[in-house]
Amino acid sequence: MEFPQAEELLKEIEGSQPQTKEELEAFRIRFLGSKNAIKPLFAQMGKIDPEQRKSYGQFLNQLKDTAEEKYNRLKSEIEKESDRVTAGNMDLSAPPPPLKQGSRHPVDIVMNRVIDIFKKIGFSLAEDREIEDEWHNFTAMNTPEDHPARDMQDTYYLRDFAGMLLRTHTSSVQARVMTHQKPPIRIIAPGRVYRNETISARSHCQFHQVEGLYIDKDVSFADLKQTLLYYAREMYGPEAKIRLRPSYFPFTEPSAEVDVYWGLESETDHRITKGTGWLEIMGCGMVDPQVLTNCGIDPEIYSGFAFGMGIERQALLAYRIEDIRWLFENDIRFLRQFHSAI
């Protein structure tokens, strides 16, 4: 024998016949593991006659290849046999394991509910880009250049694209619809919006809105109030009551905040409504004539109303969620609670 130790290992490899996974693992450890029996033979290369070193190295490589090839072949055979035995023992009449049921996100559930409510009275769906220009986001909505909402503390501007920003409200969708569609217009615009705010239990730098817009001849504030009353009773129950408080928005005049009566029957009710029983759910108002003019609609002929609500706020109320941040963390333990929701 030219290389007795190596040839002895080769005989051992060829003679080994592992029958089980445990025996095969022992084979792998002995011949292919980090401290296998072949490694010490490479360390003896310096003791081999220089004329035989090349042949010795080739023999050791062949030894290693033989061990790997046999291991892979036996592994495949043992796995096939294991699968065959498992299949033979399978009870084909047994019921399958239950599938894990997914669930919609609470924000998605509430948003779909809001959309369905307004679709019933003729509002169509309008969606558009989240990266917007200043004209559609601010100027068209009658927001002057010196308005605080344009300040960097509230708005995310794109660094390398002058005049472009992440939209701060879905009113930009209303502006795009009004500039490309003639009245009558009756739309709802749902989507994600962004504002540079401190993240806390009650606020986030990203959230979702649904805004509504109705433009036609002879649209009045009474139409707005009746529409919102319909929404509140569909969303909160047939006995729901609302109130409108004077407010200010640059794109509506007159403007109002809408409250729904939540009640004062529990400690939670007192905390949520700050002891008043009333809870703010949205802002609204008659579309400012200047907004109509900006978008190419004659305010002498047409009038309209608009409203907007935050979906996260609605979700917090609907499901008694204490922290808005939970809606964005994708914690599976939190999301599993909504299996039974619509």
For the beta carbon of residue 315, count every other beta carbon within 10 angstroms: 23
Instruction: Please return the burial class of 210, using the count of CB atoms within 10 Å of its CB with bins 0-12, 13-18 and 19+.
Output: buried
Question: Model-level pTM?
Answer: 0.67
DSSP code per residue over 180-223: HSPSPEEEEEEEEEE------SS--SEEEEEEEEEEETT--HHH
Query: 50 is in which domain, residue-wise?
Result: 4-88
Q: pLDDT value at position 149?
A: 67
Looking at the fold, whether 121 and 24 belong to one and the same domain comes out as no
Picking from 57, 88, 119, the residue at the C-terminal end of a domain is 88
pLDDT band at 1 (very low <50, low <70, confident <90, very high): very low
For residue range 192-228, list pLDDT tens digits in order.
Answer: 999 888 887 777 888 899 999 999 999 999 999 999 9
Higher pLDDT pick, 243 / 341: 243
**CA 120/CA 127 separation, integer angstroms:** 18
**HEC-encoded secondary structure of 68-96:** HHHHHHHHHHHHHHHHHHHHHCCCCCCCC
**Segment 184-195 mean pLDDT:** 94
CATH code, 320: 3.30.930.10
For residue range 56-99, list pLDDT tens digits in order.
Answer: 788 888 888 888 888 888 888 888 877 776 666 667 777 888 87
pLDDT band at 340 (very low <50, low <70, confident <90, very high): low
For residue range 244-256, list pLDDT tens digits in order.
Answer: 999 998 899 999 9
Domain count, the chain: 2
Looking at the fold, whether 212 and 301 belong to one and the same domain comes out as yes
**Segment 166-195 mean pLDDT:** 93
**CA 297/CA 287 separation, integer angstroms:** 11
Looking at the fold, whether 50 and 169 belong to one and the same domain comes out as no
Q: pLDDT value at position 52?
A: 82
**CA 48/CA 153 separation, integer angstroms:** 77
Q: Is residue 144 part of a domain?
A: yes
Residue 275 has pLDDT above 60, yes or no: yes
Looking at the fold, whether 77 and 125 belong to one and the same domain comes out as no
Residue 273 has pLDDT above 60, yes or no: yes
Looking at the fold, whether 282 and 310 belong to one and the same domain comes out as yes
Looking at the fold, whether 22 and 134 belong to one and the same domain comes out as no
Looking at the fold, whether 25 and 144 belong to one and the same domain comes out as no
325, two tokens: 């941040």
Q: pLDDT value at position 86?
A: 64
Here the contacts of 67-75 (C-beta below 8 Å, separation 24 or greater) are 67/13, 67/31, 67/32, 67/36, 67/38, 68/32, 70/13, 70/14, 70/16, 70/27, 71/24, 71/27, 71/28, 71/31, 71/32, 74/18, 74/24, 74/27, 75/24
**Segment 102-123 mean pLDDT:** 90
DSSP code per residue over 225-253: HHHHHHHHHHHH-TT--EEEEEEEETTEE
Mean pLDDT of the chain: 86
Residue 280 has pLDDT above 60, yes or no: yes
Q: Is residue 96 part of a domain?
A: no
Q: Are 194 and 184 in contact (CB under 8 A)?
A: no
Residue 144 has pLDDT above 70, yes or no: yes
Residue 237 has pLDDT above 70, yes or no: yes
Residue 138 has pLDDT above 70, yes or no: yes
Looking at the fold, whether 84 and 110 belong to one and the same domain comes out as no
For residue range 80-90, list pLDDT tens digits in order.
Answer: 877 776 666 66
For residue range 4-31, list pLDDT tens digits in order.
Answer: 787 888 888 888 888 888 888 888 888 8
Looking at the fold, whether 188 and 272 belong to one and the same domain comes out as yes
**Among candidate residues 154, 21, 6, the one with its CA nearest the CA of residue 66:** 6
Looking at the fold, whether 52 and 137 belong to one and the same domain comes out as no
Looking at the fold, whether 76 and 38 belong to one and the same domain comes out as yes
Give the pairing type, strands 131-133 and 164-166: antiparallel
Q: pLDDT value at position 122?
A: 93
**Segment 271-287 mean pLDDT:** 86
Of 120-134, 135-149, 245-259, 295-309, the least confident = 135-149
Looking at the fold, whether 174 and 221 belong to one and the same domain comes out as yes
Q: pLDDT value at position 87?
A: 61
